[in-house]
């Protein structure tokens, strides 16, 4: 696992986002075991408390499940994984729309530009 940390955002949130993305794109599948706290902390060269906080937040959100004595696993609830995917898409789309509006594009222009880009992709 390789993450380039951004100083403008808490590390535990960056790790959470990375793990969520790995789940959404299928690199971590429903039921897969998540690395142990110490293992991930060593790999990322960060404090184990940060990793522990990340896992607690993921568990609170229902993304990760703890099986006593066995470790942590990606939730087996496909609906939860789809919810994460939609949430991430909404965040990405929101940032895109805000950026386009900051460039001076009206909403109708944004829709047109996106439609043209999608049509270009379909031709390839």
Question: Are 38 and 48 contacting, i.e. CB atoms less than 8 angstroms apart?
Answer: yes
Closest CA to 64 of 25, 32, 18: 32
Note the CATH number of domain 11-76. 1.10.10.10
Q: pTM to 2 decimals? A: 0.80
All structural domains of the chain with their residue ranges: 11-76, 79-123
pLDDT tens per residue across span 38-95: 999 999 999 999 999 999 999 999 999 999 999 999 999 999 999 999 999 999 999 9
Any long-range contacts for 26-29 (C-beta under 8 Å, 24+ apart)? 28/74, 29/74
pLDDT tens per residue across span 30-47: 999 999 999 999 999 999
């Amino acid at each position: 696992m390789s993450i380039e940390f951004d100083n403008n955002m808490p590390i535990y949130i960056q790790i959470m986002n990375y793990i969520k993305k790995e789940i959404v794109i299928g690199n971590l599948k429903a039921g897969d075991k998540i690395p142990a706290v110490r293992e991930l902390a060593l790999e990322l060269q960060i404090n184990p408390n940060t990793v522990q906080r990340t896992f607690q937040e993921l568990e609170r959100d229902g993304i990760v499940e703890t099986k006593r004595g066995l470790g942590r696993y990606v939730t087996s609830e496909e609906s939860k994984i789809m919810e994460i995917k939609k949430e991430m898409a909404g965040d990405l789309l929101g940032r895109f729309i805000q950026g386009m509006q900051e460039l001076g594009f009206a909403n109708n222009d944004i829709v047109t530009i996106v439609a043209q880009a999608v049509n270009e992709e379909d031709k390839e």
